[in-house]
Amino acid sequence: MIIVLRPDVTEEQFNHIIEKIESHGLRAHISRGTERTIIGAIGDESVLRNLPFEAMPGVENVMPVLKPYKLASRTFHPEKSKITVRDVVIGGDEVIIAAGPCSVEKGDTLIRTAVQVKNAGAKMLRGGAFKPRTSPYDFQGLGEEGLKLLVEAREVTGLPFITEVMETRTVEMVSKFADVLQIGARNTQNYELLKEVGQTDKPILLKRGMSVSLNEFMLAAEYILNERNHNVILCERGIRTFETSTRNTLDISSVAVLHYETHLPVWVDPSHAAGHWRWVNPLSRAAIAIGADGLLIEVHIDPENAWSDGAQSLLPEKFALLMKDIRKVAEAVGRTVSAGEGV
C-alpha cells in the first residue's frame, strides 16, 4: 500500500501514520521526493484495507500496490534513484563506464589495464576475483589474493571497483575490499545470497539470469531492497535464446521496460551478451541510445593470453575507440560520457 502525504503534513501526523502501520505488523518504508513524501506499507497489506488512512490528517491519497515488486516499483518511488560510489554518481546524466579484465590475474596485467581504461574515460574498474565457470576445470579466480590486487589497482588509479560475490560465506570478506558487490547471472535467484548482500552497506550490481524474466528479475532486486539496502543497480547481460551467432541475445528492450517499471539505475554488459569483441562496440552504442545508465565492458591488454573470456575482451586501443563512439551517442540523447585523462 502506498500512502501519499500532503506537502503540509506535520511531524505529529507523520508519526501517527507510521505507528498505525507498524502496529498492524507491517514495516513502513519512507521515500522523500522533492514535492511529496510517500510511505510504503511493506508486508501483507490486506490487514490494512479496512483502516481509513484517507481520513487521517496529513494524508493526500492511498493506493494499493498491484505490482509484486513493491520497493523496486516506480509507484512507490516515482523519482529515479541515484547511487554514489566514492565520487561516482550512478543514475544521473553521465553514463558510467566500468571496464577491466574478466578475471584478475597475477602480475601487473590488472594495473596496466586499469591505467589504460581510466585514460580512455572509464570511471570504474571491473574484475573477477571469484569466477563462476561452467566447467569445474576452468580457472575459478584468485580469491582473496585477487581482491588485494583490485585494491592495489584502485590505489594506483583512483577507480572504485566492482567484483563478484558468489556465496553467502564470502560476502563479509568481499565487502571489506570491494566498492560494489556484483551478483552474477548464475546467482540472480539465489535468494539466500540476495538477502545476505542486502544486509551490507555496499551498492549491489544485480545481473539478469540467462533464463530470468523481467518480472522475476525485479523480484530478485526486491529481495535486496527488502533487507534495507536500497542501492541496487540492475544489469542486462543477454538471455539464452535459439540464436547462436552471439554468446547470448542482448535484450535491449529490457532497458526501456526496466526504466519504466522501476526507479533503479539500469546498466548493460555488452561483453557477455556478445561473446566476441567485434560486437561490443555496436551493442554499447545501442545500449546508450535506449537509455542505459552504465556499461560493464571487458578490456585486457593481451586478450590472446587472458585467463578467461579473452575472445570478448577489447584491447585498450579498441576500448578507446569505443569510448569516442559512445560519447557521440550519449550527446545525441542528452547524456555525457567521461572524456578521460588520455583524450
pLDDT, tens digit, 9 for 90 and up, residues 122-133: 999 999 998 766
Q: Find the range with the poorest average confidence among 24-38, 228-242, 282-296.
A: 24-38
What pLDDT sits at residue 35? Answer: 76
Integer angstrom CA distances of residue 223 from 31, 64, 202, 206, 215: 18, 20, 15, 11, 13
Listed in order, strand segments (DSSP E) in the chain are 2-5, 27-32, 37-42, 59-63, 83-85, 88-90, 96-100, 124-126, 161-164, 180-183, 204-207, 232-236, 266-268, 294-298
Res. 343 pLDDT band, cuts 50 70 90: very low
What pLDDT sits at residue 254? Answer: 98
Q: Considering the chain, what is the average pLDDT of its residues?
A: 92
Domains of the chain plus CATH, in order, are: 2-63 (3.30.70.1140), 83-332 (3.20.20.70)
Residue 232's φ and ψ, nearest 5 degrees, are -115, 130
Integer angstrom CA distances of residue 110 from 106, 184, 293: 8, 20, 25
Beta-sheet pairing, 83-85 with 204-207: unpaired
On whether the CB atoms of residues 264 and 230 are closer than 8 A, the answer is: no
Task: Please check the confidence at residue 64 and state whether its pLDDT lies above 80.
Answer: no
- Residue-wise pLDDT for 205-253, tens only, equals 999 999 999 999 999 999 999 999 999 999 999 999 999 999 999 999 9
Q: Find the range with the poorest average confidence among 21-35, 41-55, 86-100, 120-134.
A: 41-55
